[in-house]
Structure formats: C-alpha cells, structure tokens
Structure 1
Amino acid sequence: MPGKKLLMIVGDFGEDYEIMVPFQALQAVGHEVDAVCPEKSEGETVKTAVHDFRGDQTYVESRGHDFQLTASMDEVDPADYDGLVLPGGRAPEYLRTHDEVLSVVRHFFEEDKPVAAICHAAQILAAADVIEGRTCSAYSALESDVEGAGGTYYDGVTTDGNLVTGRDWGDHVEWISQFLDVLGTEIHHGESAQAEPAED
C-alpha cells in the first residue's frame, strides 16, 4: 500500500520531540510529510523548545533545534493531504490565532481525515471548534480547555473517530501507533534477508 501524504503545522517554540519524532517516524514507515508554518516559506526554519519534567509543578523549557520547513503554508492545499499532525509546545498558543490554521484544521474534520494532535495542540483544536462531543487528550493543564470546548478530557492516548490525541511526548509510542492505525498503515515484521556465503 502506498504511503499517505501528511501535513504538519508547526511554529516557533513548538515542542522539539513532538515535531522531530513524528516527522521522522512517519517518513520512516513510508509516508510523505510536509511541515509548514504561517508566514514562513519552504526552506525557512522554526525554533523548537524542549519541554522536560524534572519534579517541578510544570515543565522546564529549554532551547531545541532549528527545524526546516518543507513547504510554504500559503501554497499548500489541504485537499491534497490524507492526514494532519499537530505538535504541541508553545507554538499552538499563537498558531490558533491564524485563520488559515483554523481553516486547514476544520477541513480535515469536515472531510473526516485522520488527525493526530498532542499536548498543547488541543489549544488549536479548541479554537477551531472541533472538540465538541469528542473525547480528547492533551497536556494535563489543558483539561479545562478541552472541557470548555465541549469535549471530554482523557488522561492518556485516545482515538475518537478520525482524531488521535496524546498528553505529551511521553505518549509518542502509543500516539503514533494509534495514528498509524487510523491511517491504515500496515507494517510487516519479517526476517531480513541473509546474504548467502561466498563460495571459495
């Protein structure tokens, strides 16, 4: 089965692991991923941030990588994509103020296409008015945001129809696995071919 074409919306100080890991993992299993950011073009970069949990009341934020965009948001057509990925971090706080971001998100829900959102990406889902009546996970401090948008908060990874959500990068394995299921991705595990010994 051919890979799917996926769109990822990122922004400055999005969570490093939540951008880098799914971007690479989804490509590793054969999908094509375009990463875009409002007001930035293909080849430009966004700065990422690493959110770590070290026993404080909330996460510690450190500077991450410069992540290069693979497409320009004003040139992509969401109708050309089979699924959407929304990383968390600090970026969703401002990405949700861009009408083009909300319009793209609504397209995927109107067309019932797979959507993977994690951590603070719930802020974008709430702003796009797509959570109502759904079960949705997010960073624990956003429970009231999910419920305020008409959703039911779930403390873990959950799939509700086309929507797959997780709390933070600690949920990556299950979050990406459930998203692959919704995408219909088939991964076959088999013995790798062994080279025949050379004859003398």
Structure 2
Amino acid sequence: MDRVPPGQILTQRFPILTYGEEPRVSPETWRLEVRGLVEAPLVLGYADLLALPQVEVVRDFHCVTRWSRLDVAWKGVQARVLLERARPRPEAVAVLVHSYGGYTTNLLLEDLLREDVLLAHTLFGRPLPPERGGPVRLLVPHLYAWKSAKWVQAIELLDHLELGFWERLGYHWRGDPWREERFQEGPIPAASLRFRSKKT
C-alpha cells in the first residue's frame, strides 16, 4: 500500500510551522489537565507522565501544506492510558485539545483512543525540543499534522464537536490525509456538530 496520501510530496527535511509566538514551557512547569465529561479529572506534571507506561512508535507524518516525512520515531504515553484513568462519561464523544499559547484543535474521541496516539516527549531518541512542541505534544499520526497539537496543556471531553483554531478558519473538522480533508467545503454536517449519548 502506498504510504504517501494524495497531494503530498515526500521530504527528508522536517519543516517547523508555527502560527504566532512560540510558547516556552519548561518540563518543571508543564502541566496537563484531562477535564470536561470525565468521572475523574486529572492533572499531571512531566514527572507524572514519565512514570506512566512508555511506548515507542514510528509513524509517517503528513502536513496539510502538502509535505510528508516517513518513519518519524516518537516516544511517549498513549492518550488512551490517560483517558482510562479519567473515565470518560458515556456522553463524551469529542475532544477539544488546548495548548499553551491559546491554540486549540478538535478530535473525535475515537480518534484520540487509537493505540498510536501519544502524548509525546521524545523525538528520534531525544527530548522533544521547544520548537517542535516540547516538552510534550500530542501525536495523532493518522490525521493531518495540525491535529497533533504542540505544547499540549489540556484535553477537554465534550458531548459535541467544538471547532478549534484552524477549523474555525476553514480547515476541515476532521483532517484525514487519505481523503484530502484539507478544507471544509460547504456546511459541516449537522450530525458532526452534536452527538447523541452512546446509550441512546
């Protein structure tokens, strides 16, 4: 199977694209909240994250600006591990991810629960540098890279889809590279804006 989604160009470089000022957050001051529609809200520091089970993944990385880099090596904690501890409520079906500096992006909860979605702190065997979102960024390798929020600060679980920064400016509400979901064409389907409880 071809590893390069349609419209993408392979590069050996790893461009750094950031809108606005780059937040500077030290490992000592970094905190992550898991909040919203959860039974047990969490607040973790960097040391707490390192104390959790660690995984390494090698995944391809696809930017909506049409470049792809293959075989990027990450290390971190699976997002699903944190969500298991926070215990999402039945009506939680979507997520708004908040970053230091004010950036936000949205995800479906099912996307966040995939086994290769990480809170990543290591890139190619070295601590994640600030310009790439360190000390900790979200990695969502099956979606375009703007969903892999840098400098992640909070994961907020919701019963509806709330658009993030780029999504409000016209980027697609999901961002699947294989479907070239770069920009939202036409209205967002009503079913995507609010989800029913899984028990109804």
TM (norm. structure 1) is 0.24
Choose between structure 1 and 2: higher helix proportion: 1
Identify which of structures 1 and 2 has the higher relative contact order when contacts are C-alpha pairs closer than 8 Å and 6+ apart. 2
- Whose radius of gyration is greater, 1 or 2? 1
TM (norm. structure 2) is 0.24
Choose between structure 1 and 2: higher strand proportion: 2
